[in-house]
Amino acid sequence: MTQKSPVLRAVDAELVGKLTELVARASAAILAVAPDALDTRLKADRTPVTAADEAADAVICEGLARLLPGIAVVSEERPAGAQAPGETFAIVDPLDGTKEFVAGLGEYTVNIALVTEGRPIAGFIAAPALGLVFRGVEGRGAERLALRGSAEPVAIRCRKNPAGSLAAAVSRSHLDAATSAFLDRLAVGERIACGSALKFCKIAEGAADLYPRLSPTSEWDTAAGHAIVAAAGGLVTTPSGGPLRYGGWQHRFKVPGFVAWGDPARRVDAFAG
């Protein structure tokens, strides 16, 4: 039986502020876990989890229950069971890039997205080690701001018609042969390797032109970044160029892959030719 939930048509400034505060509090919870208290172990799917993942997850799920009562929360650390999450739901990766986090790299993030009728309408990505938050809301644009302090947010936009060869953000841990071949076909001049959803942020702030991943991944890895790229003027599609939809509980919230484009006019079918 499908769970009923309200359809969230818009995200106002007050909710944007509170969700920004929430990713900041989750970031603080991660940073508060001492390196010798990580308790790193493998889950059933052979991916790592730590006490920091669980601390951030607890902060976020409590905060979302208070801010958005009645709206389901799908988190990597507590994925929904055999029931659809509803028309509107939140999807969360409390610590994206756990491998990088455990390795002492700063390329990890906290991801929260709000999804309505299959599309992500708001995304919030905090990078605790970098002291940054990226956020984007449908119809309101995208911004980068300091995780702590009172500095004003900076509006960010994807870059259009880049001069010369393209720059691609690529996964540090999951660069597969199909994705490499796609980049070769486009004659990409620069490959910017990093972990987590930071790759979407590089598209949104104009530091890279595309980010392809042609192998399956989870919705909580992509939804927040998708929303931010779209709000910054970019586009995220399936590898074949179709719309990337969310809420696939029947497939355990997996997507078949994607390509994020800074300039929608540049998009091509990753499987063509």
Q: How many domains does the chain have?
A: 2
Q: Which of 128, 156, 184 is the last residue of a domain?
A: 156
Q: For residue 222, what are the CA distances in angstroms to 8, 152, 218, 247, 251?
A: 20, 26, 7, 12, 15
Owning domain of residue 173: 167-266
Cβ–Cβ < 8 Å for 95, 47: no
Q: Which of 104, 128, 156 is the last residue of a domain?
A: 156
Tell me the DSSP string of 105-169: -S--EEEEEEEETTEEEEEEEEEGGGTEEEEEETTTEEEEEESSS-PPPEEE----S-SSS-EEE
pTM of structure: 0.94
**In the predicted model, is pLDDT for residue 128 greater than 90?**
yes
Within a domain: 190: yes
Q: Say yes or no: 223 and 136 in one domain.
A: no
Q: Look over the chain and give the mean of its residue pLDDT values, rounded to a whole number.
A: 92
pLDDT band at 1 (very low <50, low <70, confident <90, very high): very low
Give the Cα separation of 145 and 134 in Å (integer): 7
The radius of gyration of the chain from alpha carbons, rounded to an integer in Å, stands at: 17
Of 130, 133, 134, 135, the C-alpha closest to 31 is 130
pLDDT digits 0-9 by tens, 112-121: 999 999 999 9
Order of strands across the sheet with 154-156? Answer: 72-75, 88-96, 109-116, 119-127, 132-137, 141-146, 154-156
pLDDT digits 0-9 by tens, 62-89: 999 999 998 999 999 987 655 788 899 9
Question: What stretches of the chain show up as alpha helix (H) in DSSP?
Answer: 13-31, 51-67, 98-102, 177-185, 198-204, 219-231
Q: Identify the CATH number of the domain in which residue 21 sits.
A: 3.30.540.10
The structure tokens listed for 8 are 């969230």
Question: Which one is predicted more confidently, 165 or 82?
Answer: 165
Q: In the predicted model, what is the mean pLDDT of residues 237-265?
A: 94
Within a domain: 215: yes
Give the Cα separation of 72 and 90 in Å (integer): 6
Q: Say yes or no: 127 and 250 in one domain.
A: no
Within a domain: 239: yes
Within a domain: 1: no
